[in-house]
Structure 1
Amino acid sequence: MDLQLIPADLRGHGLRLRTWRDDDVHTLLRAVTDPEYQRWNTHAFPVEDEAAAAELLRLRALGWARGEFATYCVTDESGGAVLGQVSLNSLQWPMRCARVGYWTLPEARGRGVAGHALSLITDWAFKEVGLHRIELGHAVGHEVSCRVAERGGYAAEGTLRGAMWEAGRRDTFRDQHLHARLSTD
């Protein structure tokens, strides 16, 4: 099986998943500086201004081009408003395995956006990309993300000790819950 990442719009559940564009920089910056986002996510480098957000967009496009990850901007299908992000990361092509992550903007939370976006990218990853296993990790204590994972068919597999950075830090670690789904589930 020839595995590769070819960007394609994904649609369903009233959502459109598309690649990020340069004109999304303001929305991306608003998202990654949101206190609730920062509570659960820490980037490898600070993203505090438009230049850093633009660099993040550049790296996402580069990741697609290299086949290293697939990062989708989640939008409302009818109006095009950006609602969040869903992505495949840490691709291990020989094992046909990847990790998935997601987040939503404050105005999209509580509407099922993360779960529907997760469903779309999971189906695409198994059927079109040819993956066998997708892992999903979230900080211990992030109950909302845990429910999204479980509703999406991602079985809880355990706790990874010290597997992610503490909120806003790159020198302190916290535990992560691991969920996963197989193409045969």
Structure 2
Amino acid sequence: MLKPVALEMYGLLLRPWERRDLDAVRRGLADPDFRRWNTVDSPPPDEDGAREFLASRTANWERGVGASFAVTDPTGDVVLGHINIGMIDFDAHRSGRVGYWVLPEARGRGIASHALEAMTRWAFGDLRLHRLELGHAVGNDASCRVAGRCGYRYEGELRGAMFDTGGVPRDIHVHGRLATDPFPRLTGIAVRPT
């Protein structure tokens, strides 16, 4: 079991998902950009899908295979997006796979980059992981830029490695970061008053 924690860095609060976040999850899952770039096994973009999303995130903490956070403003009240480490292997490879999304109204402010860096530092520090991997559909240039800003090096392309929400096979870019890689220098304030 992983003990759920909250992380504060870069003007963001990353906290475990809560029931009160149901509407933010539903909006995230229904976002056309989320649907465009994600996989066929994404929960449906409705209230049942949002409940499924929340339940699976809690279960992953309990089973010790994933750590999932609501990315929020400093108060923890305004959800801006989601970030997680899944497929955690604490034993043989000390590795995990990261994923994230940002709600449309919070895009363009560096939220994904700052949340990814905060979670990465936690994973390499507190969890003592050695490698994190990030995969995204080819063509998702925004995710490619986030990976680069956070020191996740481009490592190659996997052909037909995912099926999108329409069931069409897509190629993915793979990026990786090691605990021994230098920390990137992120600048700017991730959250500004609305």
Counterpart in 2 of 1:184? 180
Please say which of residues 51-60 and 65-74 is displaced more in the overlay: 51-60
Determine the structure 1 residue equivalent to 2:98. 100
Per-residue displacement from partner, 1:59-103 (whole Å, max 9, x unpaired)?
110110000111100001146210000100111222101001111
Which stretch of the first structure deviates more once superposed, 43-52 or 32-41?
Answer: 43-52
> Which residues of structure 1 form unaligned runs of 5+?
none
Q: Which moved more, 1:142-151 or 1:5-14?
A: 5-14
State the Cα distance separating 1:7 from its structure 2 match: 1.4
Describe how 1:61-140 pairs up with structure 2 within 5 A. Answer: 61-78=58-75, 80-93=77-90, 94-140=92-138
State the match for 2:187 in structure 1.
none
Provide the C-alpha distance between the structure 1 equivalents of 2:147 and 2:23, rounded to a whole number of angstroms: 28
Aligned with 2:159 (options 158, 161, 172): 161
Mark the CA change 1:174 to 1:86 in structure 2 (over 3 Å): closer, same or farther: same
Aligned residue for 1:68, secondary structure, equals: coil
Distance in 2, Cα, partners of 1:45 & 1:102: 13
- Count of aligned positions: 180
Amino acid at match of 1:88: I
Distance 2:126 2:112 in 1: 20
Q: d(CA) in 1 for partners of 2:59 and 2:7?
A: 20
Normalised to the residue count of structure 2, the TM-score between the two structures is 0.89
- Residues 79 and 67 of structure 1: CA distance in aligned 2, closer, same or farther (over 3 Å): closer
- Extract structure 1 runs of 4+ deviating beyond 2 A: none
Question: Take 2:144 and 2:64, find their aligned partners in 1: how far apart are those partners?
Answer: 28
Cα contact 1:5–1:129 (8 A) shared by 2: no
Question: TM-score if structure 1 supplies the norm length?
Answer: 0.93
- Cα shift at 1:43: 4.7
Pairwise CA RMSD: 1.3
**Letter paired with 1:100:** V
Q: How does 1:13-32 map to 2 (within 5 A)?
A: 13-32=10-29
Work out the CA distance in 2 between the residues paired with 1:45 and 1:13.
29
Distance 1:43 1:20 in 2: 22
Change (3 A) 1:19 1:106: same
Identity percentage of aligned residues: 49
2:13 match: secondary structure: strand
| Shift, 1:21, TM fit | 0.5
Contact map agreement 2:15 2:69 (CA 8 A) in 1: yes
Change (3 A) 1:45 1:135: closer
